């Protein structure tokens, strides 16, 4: 089977990893898609952002793109470029660990937003950003990601699209067969768990 153009970029850049990984969600997996390795190439980042912008059903109504830091920043920026709107990112407060807008970023009451992420497994970071925006009075129209590892099952409370949807196998840490095999565990993501 020939991989899609999106997955081909992951293979070409060495961004499809196999081993034993601790995901941001806390789950374990034998495979990991390191989007940062693909997004390190500006042409690939632009392509992925443009393609993701095309998939958004609410594209013509969007006024701002907001992404969770760190993983979503580059692709969020590229989606915003394709839509010709502002690009902001939310980041974790050092003391509360809650997502917040800093650096002078603001979203106005009634402003129409989309939340863009690199990879969704459970949708936790995306949900946190959606909640932050809604509490600030923004209208979150949709969410999107390059990769959906949930097989389409992650519910973030708004419609969601992805360039690729995978049925990635994940394990609860307490029952992980990779742990039982004593395969070294790696935490490649940006958020410490």
Q: How far is CA 162 from the centre of its chain?
A: 9
> pLDDT confidence of 1, banded at 50, 70, 90?
low
Helix extents (H) in 20-72:
35-39, 42-55
143 is in which domain, residue-wise? 35-169
* Domain assignment of residue 188, yes or no: no
The domain total for the chain is 1
Residue 149 is part of a domain; what is its CATH number? 3.40.50.2020
Q: Annotate 113-171 with DSSP letters as a single string.
A: EEEEEEEESS-HHHHHHHHHHHHTT-EEEEEEEEEETBTT----SS-EEEEEE-B--EE
* Higher pLDDT, residue 25 or 142: 142
* Domain assignment of residue 20, yes or no: no
Contact (CB, 8 A) for 5 and 20: no
In this model, does residue 190 exceed pLDDT 90?
no
pLDDT at 66: 98
In this model, does residue 12 exceed pLDDT 70?
yes
* Higher pLDDT, residue 123 or 192: 123
Contact (CB, 8 A) for 88 and 65: yes
pLDDT at 133: 97
User: What is the average pLDDT score of the chain?
Assistant: 92
* Domain assignment of residue 107, yes or no: yes
Contact (CB, 8 A) for 22 and 159: no
Q: If you count them, how many residues does the chain have? A: 193
* Domain assignment of residue 60, yes or no: yes
How does pLDDT run across 113-161, given as a tens digit for each residue? 999 999 998 899 999 999 999 999 999 999 999 999 889 999 999 999 9
């Amino acid at each position: 089977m020939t991989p899609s153009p999106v997955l081909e970029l992951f293979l070409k850049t060495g961004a499809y990893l196999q081993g034993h990984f601790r995901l941001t969600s806390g789950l374990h997996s034998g495979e990991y898609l390191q989007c940062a390795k693909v997004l390190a190439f500006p042409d690939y980042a632009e392509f992925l952002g443009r393609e993701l912008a095309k998939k958004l059903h609410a594209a013509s109504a969007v006024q701002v793109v907001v992404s969770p830091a760190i993983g979503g920043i580059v692709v969020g920026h590229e989606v915003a470029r394709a839509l010709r709107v502002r690009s902001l990112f939310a980041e974790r407060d050092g003391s509360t660990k809650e997502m917040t807008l800093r650096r002078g970023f603001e979203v106005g009451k009634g402003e129409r937003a989309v939340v863009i992420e690199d990879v969704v497994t459970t949708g936790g970071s995306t949900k946190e950003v959606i909640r932050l925006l809604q509490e600030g009075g923004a209208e979150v129209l949709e969410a999107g990601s390059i990769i959906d590892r949930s097989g389409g099952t992650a519910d973030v409370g708004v419609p969601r699209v992805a360039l690729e949807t995978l049925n990635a196998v994940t394990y609860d840490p307490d029952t992980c067969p990779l742990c039982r095999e004593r395969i070294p565990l790696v935490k490649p993501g940006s958020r410490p768990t």
